[in-house]
Structure 1
C-alpha cells in the first residue's frame, strides 16, 4: 500500500512538472493555431476579393486559392511545431523524409496536382463550361488543386480527379459560341420530298433563334424500314441549342399534319398461306 502511494506521488510530481514545462507551450500553441486559422481565413477572403477586383479567371482563382490555403496551413503547422520545442532543422529533415514517404504513397494525388496545373496552363475548359468527360456530362463548378467538380443537369455533383481529366479526352460544349442543331425526321414512302423540304424550311424560318448563315438544310439520308429518313440541320447560339430542338420538333409535327405529310410508323405485311385449304373449303383429304 505504501508502495502504491509512493508511485502516485511520483506520477503526480511528474504530471505537475509536465504541466509547468509544457503547459504554457501547449496553451501558446493552441492560441497560435486559432489565431493562425483566423488570419488564414482573412487572407483567403482578401485574396478572393482581389481576384474578383482584377477579374482573374475563375478556374485560376479557385486553383490558387486552394494552393495558397494548403501552403499557409503548412507554415502554421511548422510554426506550432517550433513553438512546442522542436528544432527547425530537425523538423525540416523529418518533414522531408515524411514528404518523400507520403509522395511515394500518394502518387495518384501528385498526378492529380500535375493534372490541375496542366488544365490551368492549356485551358481545355474553365469554370462555367459544360463538358463531357469520364462518363459525366455537366457544368464545371470548381477546379481545385486535386479534383474538379462537375454538376450534372439533374443537380448531382461529380468529383473527377484532375489527372484523369488531363490524360483523357474531354468534349467542351461551351468553347464555341454557336452549335449545330440536328433533327432526325421520317416521312412515309411516296411523300413528295420537294414539298416536305419547303414545309420544313418555312417552319425553321419562323424561328428567329436559328441563324441564316450557315443556312438550314434538309437532306435525304436513307431508306428506313417504314420511312424515308431525313436529317434537318441548322445553327443557333450554344445556349439556345435544346430550346430550338424541342420547339422545332413540335412545330414540324404540326406542320406535317397541316400539310397532309404522313408521319410513318412501323408496319408489316403478313401473308397467310393455307396449305390445308382456305377456311370453308374442303381439304384434299376430305375431297377424296
Structure 2
C-alpha cells in the first residue's frame, strides 16, 4: 500500500510543480493517519457533490417533463414512473458515483478506504431501493388500470395488495443484499434469528393473524372496495384493504381501521350486495281524517310507488296499521333498486315528496305529537 501511495503522490505532485517544498511537506503531513492532501480531495469532493446535486436534480426534472413517450402514452409504465419524483434518488445515485471516484482518486489507506466505501455504498443502496420503490409504484398503477378494464372485482383488490407486497419485498431483499455486500453472512444471520424464532412468533402472532386474515378476505371476497358493510356497530364504505387492516369510511366521514383478523372472523353484513334495499316508513295522519280518505290515500300512494321503475312492485305494501297516541299510522314498505347509499337516499327522497304531494291534494293533515288536556270544574261542595 505504501508503494502505491508513493506512486500516486508522485503523480499528483508532478502536476503541482509550482508548489514550494514547504507547501508540499504540509500537504503530505498526515492527520489521523491520512495525508492532508487526501483530506482536501475528500472534503472537496463531498462538498462539490452536495453543491451540484440540486443542479443535477433540476436537469433531470426538465428532461422528465419534456419526455415525449409519457405525453404520447399517458397510461404507460414510463408515464406513471416519470410522474413520480424519481429525479431525487437519481440525482443521489449520480452523486454517489462521483464520491466513489473521489475515494478512488484519494487512494485512502486500506482500513479508512473500507469504511468510506461502505458509507458511500450504504448511501447508494438506500437511494437505489428508493428508486425501485418508485418503479414498483408505477407497475402497481399499470396493474390497477388493467384491473379497472376487467369485469371481475377480484383483481381490483389484488392490484393494491400485490403492489404493497412487491414494495415490502424490494425493501427486505434490498437490505439483505446490502448486508451481503458489506461482507455479512446473511444465511448465518437468518439462521441465528431462528434461535429467537419462538419469541418472535409470540410477539408477531397478531401481525400473522392479520396477514392471514387479509389473504382470507382476498380469496373469499366477503366484500370489495366501495361496498357498504356493517361489522358489529361499525358501518361505512370499504376504502382500502391492506396487509394488517381494512379501512372503512363512515357516513360521518371518519375512517375506522379494523384489523383483518377481526374482519375474517366476525359477521360482515355486506349492504352493497343487496339487489334491492328495503324502505320502511310509518306515516302518521290526523285522527280527524275520514276513513274513505284514508283508503283513497293508501290506494294512491300504493299505485304511485308501484309505477316507479326502480321499485320492485311485488314488495309494495301501503296499509293503515296502527292507532297511535296522536296519529293514525300508515305503514309504507317497499324495496328499491339502488347501487349506492346516496342513490338510495336520493330516490327515497323523491318518493317521499310524492307522498306529501298526494296528501296535500287529498287535504290530509299529517300528524305530529299532540296532547289534549281535559279540565273538570270542581264545585265548592266537592272541595269540602
The 8 Å contact of residues 199 and 256 in structure 1, kept in 2 or not, is answered as: no
Q: Are residue 255 (structure 1) and residue 353 (structure 2) matched? A: no
Considering only CA atoms, is the larger Rg found in Structure 1 or Structure 2? 2
Secondary structure of 2:240's counterpart equals strand
Comparing both structures, which one devotes a greater share of its residues to helix?
A: 2
Q: 1:98 to 1:52 in 2, by over 3 A?
A: farther
Partner residue in 2 for 1:196? 297
Contact 2:284 2:368 in 1 (8 A): no
Quickly say closer, same or farther: Cα 1:266–1:57, change in 2 above 3 A: same
CA RMSD of aligned residues (A): 2.9
Distance 1:26 1:102, change over 3 A: farther
Question: Which stretch shifts more, 254-263 or 141-150?
Answer: 254-263
Aligned partners of 1:168 and 1:122: how far apart in 2?
A: 14
Number of the residue aligned with 2:199: 101
Which residue of structure 2 lines up, in the alignment, with residue 3 of structure 1?
A: none
CA contact (8 A) 1:174 1:238 kept: no
Q: Is the 8 A contact 2:136 2:166 kept in 1?
A: no
2:336 aligned counterpart, secondary structure:
strand
Q: Find the residue that maps to 1:125 and give its secondary structure.
A: coil
SS of equivalent to 2:319:
strand
- 2:110 and 2:373 map into 1 onto residues whose CA distance is 101
CA distance in 1, matches of 2:211, 2:360: 58
Which consecutive residues of structure 2, in runs of 5 or more, have no partner in the other structure? Answer: 1-30, 35-108
Shifted more, 23-32 versus 39-48: the winner is 39-48
2:117 corresponds to: 24
Cα distance in 2, alignment partners of residues 236 and 124 from structure 1: 23
For 1:259 and 1:231, locate their aligned partners in 2 and report how far apart those are by CA, in whole Å.
18
Counterpart of 1:60?
A: 158
What residue number does 1:236 align with? 336
Residue 173 of structure 2: aligned partner: 75
Q: Which residue of structure 2 lines up, in the alignment, with residue 210 of structure 1?
A: 311
C-alpha deviation, 1:284, in angstroms = 3.4
Give structure 1 stretches of 5+ with no counterpart.
1-10, 278-282
CA deviation after TM superposition for structure 1 residue 170, in Å: 1.5
Q: How far apart in 2 are the matches of 1:225 and 1:142?
A: 47
Measured in 1, the distance between the counterparts of 2:324 and 2:110 equals 92
2:185 aligned partner? 87
| Superposition TM-score, scaled by structure 2 size | 0.62
Pair 1:266-2:369 in alignment: yes
Q: Is the 8 A contact 1:109 1:146 kept in 2?
A: yes
Correspondence for 1:35 among 122, 128, 132: 128
| Alignment check: 8 A CA contact 1:204 1:216 kept | yes
